[in-house]
Structure 1
Amino acid sequence: MKIMHEQVNFKGANSFNIKWDEFPHFTFPWHFHAGYELVYVIKSYGKRFVADHVEAFSDGDLVLLGPNLPHFWKNDEAFFNHDPRYKVNAIVIHFPPDFFEHQLKNYTEFLPINELLKRALRGVCFHEQVSNSIGKELRKLLRLKGVEKILQLLRILDKLARTKNYKLLASETYCPDLHDWSSNRLEKVMHLINSSYRQPLKLEQVASHIGMNPTAFCRYFKEKTGKPFIGFVNDMRIGYACKLLLEGRQNVSQICFESGFNNLSNFNRCFKKKTGFAPVHYRSQFHKANQGQPLSPDTGNR
């Protein structure tokens, strides 16, 4: 699939850009850019594509995207009928990857924002309660100038950094090095999983790798990662399968085995549970959206 590299320019040496969007429907194609992007959808609905993640979006959608993360928003069919009742209102902010870089990495007050920007490498979607609060702050930001404008953006990022009401979008496969694992034992496990998840990977093998019995290992892994071992490995396999599906060079059966599954029906079941789509439907939805065709509102919604 073609992907566009968007060049974001910061006019007049500004530290960041903010704009109010109002148009009939989202038109920007599948793309990525070097900086961060915060998108607040005031009015619109459709499907949001971020790396290997697809889900419905609607009024109040608030997402922070990190550098080089492919994405686009696609409106549903109603927005393509020249009906003035259907339109897009959104506030979009772009800021560069070196935004307050020294402060973020070295000053204690900025560490929560630094952690937020690490999470943004996979895309972060915020809960409606957070969106409602931040939406008011973003409207205020549109009216500010000078130092107050920069301070307001920092306030917004700080609030986003401190909330726990969010979810990550792209799978671990897209950003395998994000985790700051706190023990050498878990580092060994993650290295083994990252290098071997596309091959048969038995629980007993991984537990033995760090000198634990399978029962103790299952408890340990769930405590450290928040996921059961098999679920974690399957999520990585599904993430890789999503990438292969979007590349379009292999059929579903080939992708099933290439991504580490040994059973097609199990692959289909796990894929739909994780993404909300059957593999063929996932690919067709992306192709349809990327070619500029409208999506029906009830197709593939979770």
Structure 2
Amino acid sequence: MKPMFESINLSANTSLKVETYENGDYCESAGWHIHPEYELVYVKNGTGQLNIGPKKIPYTNGVLVFLAGNIPHGDFGNKDHDDNLEIVIQFGKDFFEEKLKVFPEFSEIQKLVKKSEQVLIFDKQTHQMVWKDFQSFREIDSTQRLIKLLSILFQLSKGGGYTPLFENLPMDNYRKEEIERLEEIFEYINKNHDGKVSVEVISSQLGLTPNSFSRFFKKMTQRRFLDFVNEFRTSKAVEFFNGGETTITGVMYQCGFNDPSYFSKQFKKYQGCTPSQYLKSRYQADF
């Protein structure tokens, strides 16, 4: 079974995406999926199974795993214990390949990042050593998160307490050109979601006709392009609401919707409730 492509939605003016999940939090499973971003995942406790590439690796009492982009995998977390916590950190390849490489002080981190192509599973001692660092991501701002991530990666690069899951990971399911083409589509959506997203424009950029573009996107994601864009836009709306913006019309326009009824319908379809219901549940005291 081919994995679904997942588009990682980075907020404006940030280099990484951080999601934290407690036991009772709702986390929509991506299932068997793939994305071009690096992923560092910390699971505090509980028992589960890592499904990465062709391998299935059980873990007990939590896990810490680091994998490069374009490696198919399943979800990592579990809900065994009430106090469990899962922190997922994702960042684009340009973060390391273009930005950090100019600093020789980050050479050890660069080596670790390169090794993540083999998928690194860290030992229990390392898992425990960095627990407080990961825990702090819930309370710190975006600048502090970047600094904290670099600190964690430096600790991991110096500790050496990991086991590579693969010597080499074959990527026979997808050709390199297909992955690069899909990355370009995701980048186009990310940059233009607040305005007009045009099949004609993006298909022309890729050297495809609109019909061949639609077939390619459906083949790679098992979804229609318009459905994908609408879900992306509603996830952006959730970001704005969570960031303190409570004017539905303003958020609607910022996400590329122009019709309140259509916005409400799409939001309910992909987020499970209307925008006003979402705001009431999140800011109950203010509504």
Tell me the TM-score range normalised by the shorter chain: 0.5 to 0.7
Q: What is aligned with 1:45? A: 47
Distance 2:81 2:19 in 1: 22
Q: What is aligned with 1:181? A: none
Taking every aligned residue pair, what percent have the same amino acid on both sides? 29
CA drift of 1:149 comes to 2.2
Q: Deviations over 1:42-85 (max 9, x none)?
A: 13312111112221112230001101011114678xx6xxxx85
Which of 163, 182, 189 pairs up with 1:167?
163
Q: What is aligned with 1:111? A: 107
| Structure 2 gaps, min length 5 | 172-287
Q: For residue 94 of structure 1, give the secondary structure of its aligned residue in structure 2.
A: strand
Q: What is aligned with 2:63? A: 61
Is residue 20–residue 92 contact of structure 1 (8 Å, CA) maintained in 2? yes
Q: Deviations over 1:8-67 (max 9, x none)?
A: 011123111111113579843111111111111113312111112221112230001101
Is residue 36–residue 95 contact of structure 1 (8 Å, CA) maintained in 2? yes
Question: Following superposition of structure 1 onto structure 2, how do residues 29-178 of structure 1 map, counting pairs within 5 Å?
Answer: 29-73=31-75, 89-174=85-170
Q: Deviations over 1:240-276 (max 9, x none)?
A: xxxxxxxxxxxxxxxxxxxxxxxxxxxxxxxxxxxxx
Q: Which has the higher contact order (CA 8 A, sep 6+)?
A: 1
Q: Deviations over 1:211-230 (max 9, x none)?
A: xxxxxxxxxxxxxxxxxxxx
Is residue 118–residue 164 contact of structure 2 (8 Å, CA) maintained in 1? yes
Distance 2:108 2:76 in 1: 32
Runs of 4+ in 1 over 4 A off after TM superposition: 23-26, 84-88
CA drift of 1:116 comes to 0.7
CA drift of 1:166 comes to 0.5
Q: For residue 167 of structure 1, give the secondary structure of its aligned residue in structure 2.
A: strand
Q: What is aligned with 1:11? A: 11
Q: For residue 101 of structure 1, give the secondary structure of its aligned residue in structure 2.
A: helix
Is residue 44–residue 87 contact of structure 1 (8 Å, CA) maintained in 2? no
Q: Structure 2 vs 1, CA of residues 121 and 90 (structure 1 numbering), >3 Å: closer, same or farther?
A: same
| Structure 1 gaps, min length 5 | 176-302
Q: Structure 2 vs 1, CA of residues 7 and 173 (structure 1 numbering), >3 Å: closer, same or farther?
A: closer
Q: How many residues align?
A: 170
CA drift of 1:146 comes to 4.1
Letter in 1 for 2:85: N
Distance 1:74 1:140 in 2: 20
Q: What is aligned with 1:255? A: none
Letter in 2 for 1:8: I
Q: Structure 2 vs 1, CA of residues 116 and 23 (structure 1 numbering), >3 Å: closer, same or farther?
A: same
Letter in 2 for 1:104: L
Question: Following superposition of structure 1 onto structure 2, how do residues 258-277 of structure 1 map, counting pairs within 5 Å?
Answer: none
Is residue 4–residue 33 contact of structure 2 (8 Å, CA) maintained in 1? yes
Q: Structure 2 vs 1, CA of residues 87 and 135 (structure 1 numbering), >3 Å: closer, same or farther?
A: closer
CA drift of 1:92 comes to 0.8
Is residue 53–residue 169 contact of structure 2 (8 Å, CA) maintained in 1? no
Is residue 50–residue 170 contact of structure 1 (8 Å, CA) maintained in 2? no
Q: Structure 2 vs 1, CA of residues 46 and 87 (structure 1 numbering), >3 Å: closer, same or farther?
A: farther
Q: What is aligned with 1:292? A: none
Moved more, 99-108 or 41-50: 99-108
Is residue 29–residue 72 contact of structure 1 (8 Å, CA) maintained in 2? yes
Distance 1:19 1:106 in 2: 28
Q: Structure 2 vs 1, CA of residues 8 and 17 (structure 1 numbering), >3 Å: closer, same or farther?
A: same
CA drift of 1:108 comes to 1.8
